[in-house]
Structure 1
Amino acid sequence: MLNKLGNLGTALLERFLPTADADALRCRTVCNAEGYWQVKCCEGRVCWWDGEPSINPC
């Protein structure tokens, strides 16, 4: 039983924490094409902008 709970905890950590896995979800703040800071997330080779751009130019 304890081993199953340990495995569940590990699975949850792997799901929500970044790993060395190439397909892991990664988000970072970058300068977008309009010249404003925005969060860009990628999972594998698929990327998208997340949220609204900042009001501060980069």
Structure 2
Amino acid sequence: MLSLQLKELENDGIITKKIYPVIPPKTEYQVSELGKSLEPVINEMEKWGISYNERNAK
């Protein structure tokens, strides 16, 4: 499941993937410039989630 999500993010240009030709295989992922542009949106979603949880805490 994780590999599928990573592949989708890579296809969408949100992350980049680098595969090293070593044994055992090594793969590194980085957030792309496009992915970094999502940071303000993600931060606002986090604020909303915190606010929502505070209002609906039991």
- Structure 1 length normalisation: TM-score? 0.26
Could you say which structure has the higher strand fraction? 1
Could you say which structure has the higher helix fraction? 2
- Structure 2 length normalisation: TM-score? 0.26
